[in-house]
Amino acid sequence: MVDLFIGYYIIAIILNHNQMHHIGFYFVLAALIGIAEEFTFRGMILGSLIHNWRGKNPILGGVLLSSLIFGLTHAVNAFSQPLPNTIVQIVVAFSLGVILAFMYLRTNNLITPILFHMLVDFTSISLTNTTESQAGWNTALPILIVALLVLFFQLKPRPRKQIEHDFNL
């Protein structure tokens, strides 16, 4: 999985805008990214953090830490785009990580977050013709607000108990 994740960044750096013009290529790229990142960050890292968390709230701790790791992995994009774009991308990725984590926890499967991740990446790549971030803070702040609302409303007692049951806590 990590090889696929790293491979995506290598492909993104090698390819220029003129070569990324086929809808099929966008779909395959979005699918590879979505599958690799969701298996890695939600399937392995989030599950492991929740199961092994020693703090007071393993669900919240796992969601926030796995989302932070997910966001920070996008720092590698600073090598191929301006630093301010990368900072915005890290914030957006963290926020998206929170949303995807709760999708995973609520459905107890990776299909929903994979499909949503693919949709987000496919839309982004096809609209901008690149894997580099074109977003500014006007894009990042609404996503961050949505992520915080998801975080707040998803930790109701009933869903938390179901999630704890799913992870044998």
Domain that holds residue 140: 2-166
Please state the domain count of the chain.
1
Half-sphere exposure of 4 (CA within 13 A, CB side): 14
Determine the pLDDT at residue 18.
52
148-102-108 Cα angle (round to 5): 175
Decide if pLDDT at 125 tops 90.
Answer: no
Range with the poorest average pLDDT among 23-27, 36-40, 80-84: 23-27
d(CA 9, CA 33): 10
130-153: buried (b, 16+ CB within 10 Å) or exposed (e) per residue? bbbbebeeeebeebbeebeebbee
Confidence of residue 68 (pLDDT cuts 50, 70, 90): very high
Residue partners of 72: CB distance under 8 A and separation at least 6? 90
